[in-house]
A and B are shown apart, each in its own frame.
Chain A
Amino acid sequence: MTDVLSITENILDIAVLVCFAGIAISLLLLLYQVIVGPTQPDRAVALDAIGINIMAMAGLMAVYLVTSRLNDVVLLVGILAFLGTLSIAKYLEKGVIIDRDMD
């Protein structure tokens, strides 16, 4: 029984490390997209995807460190990334983020 448990823990460790590597590569590619990206909406989408990847990174770190303290961080990063994407989208669409008077 303990054999099975240790084997599964090894598999989990390896899987988490592989996921770390994958998300790191994805973050690098997205950073390239943010810097080079031909149009502004491309950069907005890439920034949103970077936020999602950071959430995944925090979740994986929670698995790796066997703690539940990082769950708030995932929520927090999600909310801030949402607000950032919203602001960029509204700026690209309307040219102003907080408008003085509606219509």
Chain B
Amino acid sequence: MYKTNDLILRTTTSLIAFILLGFAVYLLLAGHNSPGGGFVGGLMTSAAILLMYIAYGVEAVKKVLPVNFMMLIPIGLAIALGTGIGSFIFGVPFLSQTFDYYTFPLFGKIELATAMLFDLGVYFTVIGVMMTIILTIAKDQ
């Protein structure tokens, strides 16, 4: 077995991973009224992390990204459940959602929706599930 040479992969990964993470955040923020959302955003983020794992191996990425991905599942589910329960404070049914327009100094008038917070919970859950599945399969030795 000869030693493989993946210089091109490592060099491009350090660039492409950031593009993927930026695209993931764009998909997450554009989600509630155009294609995208928490699921695809989480999928893209886990794709970026998976690319780093493929290029640099388990040990290096664990040093760079010391996150226990299994803990992201309950955190994301708690956020999603919290946005559902939060609607009780305002006296409306479970999982109600609303939106409004706010004016910010730099960005101008933008729309903020509470569906985004639910999407954030979905985002963390999807990252946790995807990375847990992939790393569990990869450790099968």
Contacts and interface: CB of A to CB of B under 8 A. Distances in A.
Interface residues of A, number: 21
A79 B20 contact: yes
The bracket for how many chain B residues form the interface is 20 to 34
Given A100-B58, A102-B56, A75 B4 contact: no
A100 B27 contact: no
Nearest to A89: B9
Contacts of B51: 83, 86
A32 to B, nearest CB: 29
A16 to B, nearest CB: 21
A75 B35 contact: no
12 contacts: A72-B34, A79-B44, A83-B50, A90-B54, A97-B54, A97-B138, A99-B57, A100-B57, A101-B57, A101-B58, A102-B57, A103-B3
User: Sorted from nearest, which 4 A-B pairs have the closest CB atoms?
Assistant: A98-B138, A102-B57, A99-B57, A98-B53
